[in-house]
Amino acid sequence: MKQDQHKILLIEPPFYRLFKDTYCLERYPLSLGYLGGEIRKNTTWGVMVYNADFQPDVEFIRTSYLTGIGFNNYINNLNDLSRKIWKEIELTVAEYRPTVVGISAKSQNFKSALIVAGLVKKLNEQAVVIMGGAHPSMVGTDLLNYPEVDIGVIGEGEITIVELLNAIEAQGELDDIQGIVYRRHGQVIRNPQRELIANLDSLCFPHEYAPEILKDYNKYPKMAFKNIFAIRGCPYNCFFCGSRNIWSRKVRFRSPENVVKEIKGLEKIGLKYIHFDDDTFGVSPKYINGLCNALMQHCPGIKWSCEIPVQLVNEENISLMKDAGCFSIQMGIESGNNDILSLIRKNITIEEALDACDLIKKKGIALQVFFIVGFLQDTEETLRDTITAMRKIKCDAISYSIFTPYPGTEAFELCKKKGMIGDDYDVSLYNHQSPVNNFCMNIPLERFRKIVDKVEKQIDRKNLHRVRRILKLFDLTTFKKIQQVGIGKSLKKGLRIFMGK
């Protein structure tokens, strides 16, 4: 790299590590992987991707810890910039000396992202800070209320970032770059929205460039690179979800051939398992059929997992997915009460969800289900229905969240209308496991916490038991190895053995 070459540092801000340093995001962030790859492929800029939420000594994340001691740690870390995590980030930025820093921000890590931006400006006031991701896309020009952010990217960023870097290098104007918000002579400007990328096959494969651009690449387990996108967009219209505001409800598909090519590249680096990170796997029976047949023909040894809605669970789809290597499915059920399911626009009933779970388990596929508690209209009675469903449902793991209205979503606006969110709303205090979360109109916070505290502890215990059981289903020899390394703090090590690390 030339000494005078422009450089960009792409950062995933810390979140899990703020709760406990042995909690972390043990994966290559796909958004930064795509951005870094496109920059490497289409510009002369030096680029490094830095996942500040990663460290190699990983511990199994317990929900009950996040809502207790962990939450106190999280708040303390956000309020004390002398902590180890911020010093690590500051050192990384100082050593790399980037011209531009790009920060990926979700609502739950937005305050962390702002701290990172402030550290960058402290080291080099002239560095350009660009922020993209879900939160900037949802809040738009409000992002520029924070002076440490120079430019916000709205929507997909792969084309936008390349155009931005070319303009910065040429010291040109930003007027013609679609999909950004920025300041010009103190005035906030929002350029026209960028059209969605029509040909997803034109994008790079994130893992291909990871060895060159990912900081500490050799410290990541192979599983960190298992996630891929086959589609972008979700046709469903769930009340609490902001996905449609970012990707739209129009679904764009990669060709099965392109997906297969990426998977074969992952197989070459030793992966035997991949996860489709799509909001909704397949979306249409036609695409599910085409993709599964391509996998059977070209990647017969690969095992994979995905998230699929109840509406797509039927004998034909699940049988085909099983034949194509699907061994684990995630499914969002959210509530055990049909009135709540109707209000949040899931367009399913709990009876249909239970039937879908039965079918998946009958096919010998592992199942993880998602539930959310504390919707606006929840009562103690509807919560009891959800807790009953959690106990009754046939699955191998439960992912539990507290309802959280994120800025820019329909749910957020309704909470504001109901007087539950004021102008002093601090987004850093509210995430899916926050103990101060209670946007439920019918249950006071103290009572709500008494109910969900018990649920959280039960889920932690059941999930550990279920992980033991699911691994035993696959391979007794593997299970014995996992027993030897332990199931608590060393759970991740056990999973790596199972996944062929």
Cβ 306 vs Cβ 275: under 8 Å: yes
Mean pLDDT (whole number) for 139-165: 97
| Residue, of 191 and 61, whose pLDDT is higher | 191
pLDDT in tens, 354-367: 999 999 999 999 99
pLDDT at 491: 44
pLDDT at 36: 98
Q: Where are the alpha helices (DSSP H) in 299-407?
A: 315-323, 338-343, 350-362, 380-392
Confidence band for 195, pLDDT divided at 50, 70 and 90: very high
Q: Which CATH architecture has domain 221-498?
A: Alpha-Beta Horseshoe (3.80)
pLDDT at 154 over 50: yes
**What is the DSSP-derived secondary structure letter of residue 179?**
S
pLDDT at 486 over 80: no
Confidence band for 417, pLDDT divided at 50, 70 and 90: very high
pLDDT at 482: 39
pLDDT at 221 over 60: yes
∠ CA 31-218-127, rounded to 5°: 50
Task: Identify the CA nearest to 162 among candidates 324, 245, 39, 250.
Answer: 39
pLDDT at 459: 82
- The backbone torsions φ and ψ at residue 155, rounded to the nearest 5 degrees and listed phi first, read 85, -155
pLDDT at 235: 87
- Rounded Cα distance between 167 and 151, Å, is 13
pLDDT at 113 over 90: yes
pLDDT at 469 over 80: no
CA atoms within 13 A on the CB side of 150: 16
- CA-CA-CA-CA torsion for 440, 422, 139, 50, nearest 10 degrees? -80
pLDDT at 196: 94
Mean pLDDT (whole number) for 175-183: 97
Residue recorded with tokens 């400007």: 189
For CATH 3.80.30.20, the residue range(s) in the chain are 221-498
Cα of 201 vs its chain's centroid, Å: 22
Q: Where are the alpha helices (DSSP H) in 109-201?
A: 110-123, 134-139, 158-169
Confidence band for 21, pLDDT divided at 50, 70 and 90: very high
User: CA distances (Å), 271 to each of 23, 115, 204, 268, 471, in order?
Assistant: 23, 35, 19, 7, 18
pLDDT at 182: 98
pLDDT at 241: 85
- Rounded Cα distance between 20 and 69, Å, is 9
pLDDT at 376: 94
pLDDT at 494 over 80: no
Mean pLDDT (whole number) for 158-187: 96
pLDDT in tens, 251-292: 999 999 999 999 999 999 999 999 999 989 989 999 999 999
Question: Computed from CA positions of residues 299, 304, 307, 313, in that sequence, does the dihedral angle turn out positive or negative?
Answer: positive
- CA-CA-CA-CA torsion for 59, 61, 62, 68, nearest 10 degrees? 100
pLDDT in tens, 295-331: 999 999 999 999 999 999 999 999 999 999 999 999 9
Across the chain, what does the average pLDDT equal?
90
Q: Which helix (H) or strand (E) holds 273?
A: strand 273-276
Which pair of tokens denotes residue 94? 């100082």
For CATH 3.40.50.2300, the residue range(s) in the chain are 7-190
Confidence band for 151, pLDDT divided at 50, 70 and 90: very high
For domain 7-190, say whether CATH 3.40.50.2300 is its number.
yes
Cβ 351 vs Cβ 385: under 8 Å: no
Cβ 318 vs Cβ 365: under 8 Å: yes
Q: Please name the amino acid found at residue 220.
A: Y
- Mapped onto helix, strand or coil, the DSSP state of residue 436 is coil
- Rounded Cα distance between 344 and 268, Å, is 43
DSSP symbols for 19-56: H-TT----S--HHHHHHHHHHHHH-S-EEEEEETT--S
- Rounded Cα distance between 102 and 151, Å, is 9
- Rounded Cα distance between 438 and 429, Å, is 11
pLDDT at 33: 98
Helices (H) and strands (E) in the chain, counts: 20, 15
| Residue, of 36 and 432, whose pLDDT is higher | 36
pLDDT at 467: 57
User: CA distances (Å), 439 to each of 75, 308, 346, 371, 372, in order?
Assistant: 20, 27, 19, 16, 12
Cα of 468 vs its chain's centroid, Å: 25
Task: Identify the CA nearest to 101 among candidates 143, 130, 124.
Answer: 130
Task: Identify the CA nearest to 192 among candidates 176, 172, 171.
Answer: 176
∠ CA 218-77-450, rounded to 5°: 110
